[in-house]
Amino acid sequence: MSVVAPAERPLVIDSTVLGRLEVPKESVLTFPGGLPGFEGLRRFALVATAFAGVHWLQSVEDAGLAFLLADPFRVVEGYAVELPPGDLAPLGAVDPATPLLVLAIAVIEQGLTATLNLQGPVVINPATRRGRQVVLADATWGMAYPAVLGG
């Protein structure tokens, strides 16, 4: 006789921004230092949207806090990120070749027009499910780069 482990129930978040969410526990990320301005909040769910490369980062601890994130490599030609070892270590990425997810915080301006914070991307190590927002020394792209999301 074999024993089958019961499936883990999804985490339910009653987001004031996105409504009732049921997210798999493996989509919950830990930000050991929180996010700038929200250092006390450390657990966030990464929630896909209908648009490729666009996600919500919903706080598990504060139902009213959600950030819109976009894959900057899909919408900004030539965007590049170099992360020093000090930014990789908290993510559990000791090898610079570790595949990381880099997303930019988006602010919707009008319709699908947005600005992206390319100087302060959110970096996630999918293997450890840890993330952090880093501030890049290179200010080439800035914190309010105009972009069109979706489509």
For residue 71, being part of any structural domain is answered with yes
Output the DSSP codes for 78-129: T------HHHHGGGT--STTS--EEEEEEEEEETTEEEEEEEEEEEEETTTT
For residue 2, being part of any structural domain is answered with no
Q: Tell me which residue has tokens 């883990």.
A: 8
Task: Pick left, alpha or beta for residue 40 (phi over 0 → left; psi -120 to 50 → alpha; otherwise beta).
Answer: alpha
Domains contained in the chain, number? 1
Please tell me the pTM assigned to this model.
0.88
The pLDDT assigned to 137 comes to 86
CA-to-CA dists, residue 123 to 1, 29, 68, angstroms = 44, 11, 14
User: Which of helix, strand or coil describes residue 50?
Assistant: coil
For residue 132, being part of any structural domain is answered with yes
For residue 4, being part of any structural domain is answered with no
| Spans of the chain, pLDDT less than 50 | none
The pLDDT assigned to 151 comes to 57
The pLDDT assigned to 139 comes to 84
CATH number at residue 65: 2.30.290.10
The pLDDT assigned to 95 comes to 74
Which domain range does residue 95 map to?
11-148
The pLDDT assigned to 8 comes to 75
Per cent of the chain over pLDDT 70 is: 93
For residue 3, being part of any structural domain is answered with no
